[in-house]
Amino acid sequence: MTLPEVRPVEAGEINRLVDVLLLAFGADPMARFGMPSASQYMQGMRRVFEGFAVPAVASQTAFTVGNFGGAALWTPPGIGHSNEAFEGATQYIDPGRTRAFIQLLGEMEASHPEEDHWYLAFIGIDVNQQGTGYGAALMQHALEKIDEEGAVAYLESSNLKNPPFYEQFGFEVVRRIEVKNAPPVFPMVRPARV
């Protein structure tokens, strides 16, 4: 099977990138735990996605496939995300869940590998495009570059359906994070390929 073409997202396309991720993560357990109303989710997660998108686009590690039928935001070693975006997003977290949500984020941050690694912050496919091979194309595209560098890859999944997808690319669940009544999160690592 021929995989669809993947390309880097350009600076003028950040809004399109964020839009597809908003669609893809609309039912994400962690996002909706912290931002359960539609308004909270749309405004808060827009800021989160933008906070990762801007540096990823600048470093050419934000990818799209199928005319924005799907997208992935990777953070390479040495590149961070915008803390300002997260600070702007915290006002949209449900007040009764803020403490658990912030604790969950802290546990996720602590689960990152100690060695330099590529971090898959977000990968999502428009619900109308799921089953097209877009997710596999996005993963394979980035992992080829990561393998050329002999680097470790890392991600977290809060959707119980997704770990088997990542496992087919060599990721392994290394922990189960549970915080109060928040959904569990599964940090996953893909060892360096030498």
Q: Which two tokens stand for residue 161?
A: 């359906």
Q: Which two tokens stand for residue 58?
A: 């600048």
What whole-number percentage of the chain has pLDDT above 70?
Answer: 95
Does domain 6-190 bear CATH number 3.40.630.30?
yes
Q: What is the distance, to the nearest Å, from the Cα of residue 156 to the centroid of all Cα atoms in its chain? A: 8
- Residue 124 has φ and ψ, to the nearest 5°, of -155, 150
Split at pLDDT 50, 70, 90, the class of 88 is confident
Q: What is the pTM (predicted TM-score) of this model?
A: 0.93
Domain ranges of the chain: 6-190
Give the DSSP H or E segment for 188: strand 186-190
SS3 label, residue 178 = coil
- Indicate the pairing of strand 152-157 with strand 117-125: parallel
What is the arithmetic mean of pLDDT over 104-127? 93
Q: Is the pLDDT of residue 78 over 90?
A: no
The residues, any chain, with a CB within 8 Å of residue 41's CB and separated by 6 or more, are 26, 31, 32, 35, 92
Q: Is the pLDDT of residue 89 over 80?
A: yes
Residue-averaged pLDDT of the chain: 93
Q: Is the pLDDT of residue 158 over 80?
A: yes
